[in-house]
Structure 1
């Protein structure tokens, strides 16, 4: 099937709010009054709750306090005005990491914050659309077809057309990453939906200043069990069909398996997820020969690791090079991602010029693994000596460190899974203004989203934990009046032209 954008036009014109309200889900409107950000007054209440009532103040102190508040409000107004005057279309390369985000993180640049949240929401969409219910015969698939994907997730104004769904074979040693149905009759026994490729439409491309190709990776939905399943040893990246001139470049074994394995007997995984990405990108770059293009890769958790790995692959194979030798810039925005490879892998990425910004919560254990002992935090001399060890790792790119204890909305004693939650990361981004700066929600992003799949919000907000539910777990009445699982239209399997294109590129023969 030829890749086409015409059949994915977005038809919904309703305004998009930053809430998750897909079709047939419990609406948030029943407590919407309580969920909205309430401005400086609400902040003052939170400060009193957290630190106790202030001592009696003199009139002079009251006057000084009013002056300070007035100055802070003036600063905030100037920030917002600067954001509106500075357009993403004119400085997208800077936001995309052209200068490694120098001067944009501390203090936090408003445009960068907005873009990080936007791409984070595209990664979150992978969780929201994934069927992980083992009692569903469609477990492991995407709950929506490509044309309706963003509309059904309450994201009609996202400005992207869905191009391709990505599938990986579950026949690898990462059992807690893949989800399978307990029923014998299932949509696929060996495949799992793992993400998608989308392209900005004409209107969004005009706003962004380029046509943006986004690759979004799904992370795990089984809390943190997958960390224990990692083989936790490195092997040469060139041993798994990914070219590398340096045999000492090594990557975590489980990540390589997930990225490169395929199943010839599965119609969804005849090509590895690597081959699906490379062939689709080649096709898209051919479609837009004259336009300014960018490739943005995003993912959370294990999806963040795959974002780094796929970014390396695209650069190493030269997939982003046009026929006229111009390079399409590539950027990775990862959230809560683990380490991927060894020091040589990091050095090779630096040489290739991959721009990667990693958003992490300092209380999250996933970014601290693998490589708990030998990693980038030890002395460079010792790390160099240990680089040939099978468990010596190094993070790549630029880190943006957040702390959930700075947010007055979140529990300080939450469990490890909550600290790893993607919605919590997006909440922290909205309130982050720089190290040592006060936590204030810049965009008023609905904090109720944090509890979508967790119990992370303070009880005073009266937001039910794990409130996201699916109506009747997909049970509907059929024509005979019996309750049965609702039939679902599945996405097409890998189109024949994609398989043909991969053979033309030599991917199937590992010659790329």
Structure 2
């Protein structure tokens, strides 16, 4: 493992971890399903103010999708939204020293995964759907993830635009704002005509399931999207959709490697496989949540030096982070499980001496110019598609 590469993968993994650390998943909170922090103080609240990035916008998705138990809802009457969940953010590198180090203006699109118990992943409907942003019907995505990316709710301020539309509009705005600079993006999908500025796109995926079929994989490769998938070999989530009985595993492997069936699910990109049993800090466990935990993946990245090499923490990343939201460290290290929470669970005393959950400033739903930039993207994409048809 190259030391510079290790640091970069961990750095982007921490941008993803920020989605979990800032998400309000307490069903007793009236703000459940939202981000706990204002965008202007997001990285400061998470102890990441020194990273040199600023939040450009928050991303939302409608909860009316085909992914069971994916979204968190408050048990109280909804205060901020009955239809939306906060999914992540777009951030841009604003520190000029960091821009110089990277050799580009870096734009990060960070998505969270599930924050509920992992049983939902086993309920994934094994249904492939043709995306409406490609002309090739053989390219298919898993229906739930397609809905997550494309569905919207006109009656909700936070998801009147789909997650896809929110991302496309914001990236277009940033491209125009930093006109003339070299940019680099981290995005989930890009299609013909939508990346007209030919910005290099890299995806760092941590513990992700399969998203689409073999044609989906091939199309991503044709478009030049670079994907690195970091997995734990004991984690079951990267094996779905498409869990097969033991006697069918070899047959499925044969299909994936030799025949491009449109209904065969396939991973995209290069796999970096880690093994939590190699870490001397972690205890044996059958808890699927531990094997899937993102902080555990970042811990494994810090100690991985290559196949067959001794596990040794290269950057001395604090092992206590592993137990933020799980019980994975050996007891001898004295770190309590599930230790990360807001002080007094966010409760404060008001002027009357009563303990209450303070009101939060209302977060802006969509910027006023989102339609303007989205229409630019769609117009360019439409023109590109027509030109291809004429050719």
TM (norm. structure 1) is 0.71
Q: Any conservation in 1 of the 2:118–2:289 contact (CA below 8 Å)?
A: yes
Tell me the residue number matched to 1:335: 206
Q: Any conservation in 2 of the 1:144–1:490 contact (CA below 8 Å)?
A: no
Structure 1 stretches of 4+ with a deviation exceeding 3 A read 373-377, 380-383, 503-507, 509-512
Establish whether residue 224 from structure 1 lines up as the match of residue 118 from structure 2: yes
Structure 1 alignment gaps of length 5 or more: 1-107, 298-309
Given candidates 419, 427, 431, the residue that maps to 2:303 is 431
How big is the shift at 1:506? 4.2
* SS of equivalent residue, structure 1 residue 187: coil
Tell me the residue number matched to 2:159: 269
State how far apart, in whole Å, the 2-side matches of 1:217 and 1:505 are.
21
Tell me the residue number matched to 1:13: none
Aligned residues: 378
Q: Any conservation in 2 of the 1:249–1:345 contact (CA below 8 Å)?
A: yes
Establish whether residue 464 from structure 1 lines up as the match of residue 336 from structure 2: yes
Task: Using the TM superposition, name which of 170-179 and 269-278 deviates more.
Answer: 170-179
Task: Using the TM superposition, name which of 284-293 and 270-279 deviates more.
Answer: 284-293
Q: Any conservation in 2 of the 1:282–1:319 contact (CA below 8 Å)?
A: no
Given candidates 409, 418, 434, the residue that maps to 2:281 is 409
Matched ranges for 1:16-415 at <5 A: 108-201=1-94, 202-237=96-131, 241-242=132-133, 244-297=134-187, 310-311=188-189, 314=190, 316-322=191-197, 327-373=198-244, 378-380=253-255, 384=259, 387-389=261-263, 392-415=264-287
Residue 321 and residue 510 in structure 1: after superposition, are their counterparts in 2 closer, same or farther (change >3 A)? Answer: closer
What are the superposed Cα offsets for residues 173-221 of structure 1, whole Å, 9 maximum, x if unpaired?
3241110111114211111100000000123211211100100001111
Q: Any conservation in 2 of the 1:414–1:456 contact (CA below 8 Å)?
A: no
Q: Any conservation in 1 of the 2:139–2:262 contact (CA below 8 Å)?
A: no
Q: Any conservation in 1 of the 2:66–2:143 contact (CA below 8 Å)?
A: no
How big is the shift at 1:229? 3.1
State how far apart, in whole Å, the 2-side matches of 1:350 and 1:504 are.
26
Q: Which structure's CA Rg is the greater one?
A: 1
Q: Which has the higher contact order (CA 8 A, sep 6+)?
A: 1
What are the superposed Cα offsets for residues 18-53 of structure 1, whole Å, 9 maximum, x if unpaired?
xxxxxxxxxxxxxxxxxxxxxxxxxxxxxxxxxxxx
How big is the shift at 1:458? 0.7
- CA-based RMSD: 2.0
Q: Any conservation in 2 of the 1:343–1:384 contact (CA below 8 Å)?
A: no
Q: Any conservation in 1 of the 2:347–2:356 contact (CA below 8 Å)?
A: yes
* SS of equivalent residue, structure 2 residue 316: coil
Residue 477 and residue 266 in structure 1: after superposition, are their counterparts in 2 closer, same or farther (change >3 A)? Answer: same
State how far apart, in whole Å, the 1-side matches of 2:175 and 2:195 are.
8
Q: Any conservation in 2 of the 1:140–1:193 contact (CA below 8 Å)?
A: yes
Structure 2 alignment gaps of length 5 or more: 386-391
How big is the shift at 1:456? 0.3
* SS of equivalent residue, structure 1 residue 379: helix
State how far apart, in whole Å, the 1-side matches of 2:4 and 2:366 are.
37
Residue 229 and residue 414 in structure 1: after superposition, are their counterparts in 2 closer, same or farther (change >3 A)? Answer: closer
Tell me the residue number matched to 1:81: none
Residue 178 and residue 438 in structure 1: after superposition, are their counterparts in 2 closer, same or farther (change >3 A)? Answer: same
Tell me the residue number matched to 2:347: 475
* SS of equivalent residue, structure 2 residue 49: coil
